[in-house]
Amino acid sequence: MRVTAKKFTIVLLIGLFLMGIGQIVWAEKWQPYQFKGNERFEFKISFEENKEKGEAFYILDIKESSEKSASGEEVYEVSYITKGTLAKDELGPETAFGLMGSYGISLNMMMINPAYSFFFSQMDLKVGEKMNFFGAGIVKVIGKEKIAGREGFVCQLFQADEEEKMMAEWVIDPELALPLRSKIFEDGELQGQIELVKYVQY
């Protein structure tokens, strides 16, 4: 009887060990805004303002320069492009500093609220995972989706006190610093989305 119990204990421990390894292998972490350098992101932005639908494009290009910093580190040339259309009477001060100001959109909030970055860095990205963002909301990983040739985890954010009310959705590839797609909702209606259309590594 003792031998049987001992064998059962050994099998149980091995099983738990293998389960732990499986979680390490399959669960992935995401570090938002941790860029690799020598990469280019091209996004399409869709939004609604005054009940009218709009569209714009955002390009982020990070390319290594031939220069070095004072400490000998690599230096990167970073450029930003926002493209869209505006009526003549909409041209104003904001136009000179990027179209997002003209559209009334905060680009970083549309991409991912910086306050959520820390929470995501602590979360295991695997289908079926669920995490409470310390009262800020509840995130559920509901599946996977391919966008611009890359696969990411579909993560949905719900209100902490009303779990059926979705506030945002992201498709996240842990290998990239930015989401493949971000959707922002208000009162259950889509307010805007930004989606990757092309990613290039130099």
Domain boundaries, the chain: 28-201
Dmax (CA) for the chain in angstroms is: 88
Q: What is the mean pLDDT of residues 74-89?
A: 88
- Helix, strand or coil, per DSSP, at residue 57: strand
Task: Round the average pLDDT of the chain to a whole number and report it.
Answer: 82
Average the pLDDT over 22-36 and give the result. 73
pLDDT confidence tier of residue 91, bands split at 50, 70 and 90: confident
Copy the structure tokens of residue 10.
């050994």
Res 98: pLDDT: 65
Q: Is the pLDDT of residue 28 over 60?
A: yes
Phi, psi of 187 (to 5 degrees): 55, 40
Alpha carbon distance 31, 178 (integer Å): 9
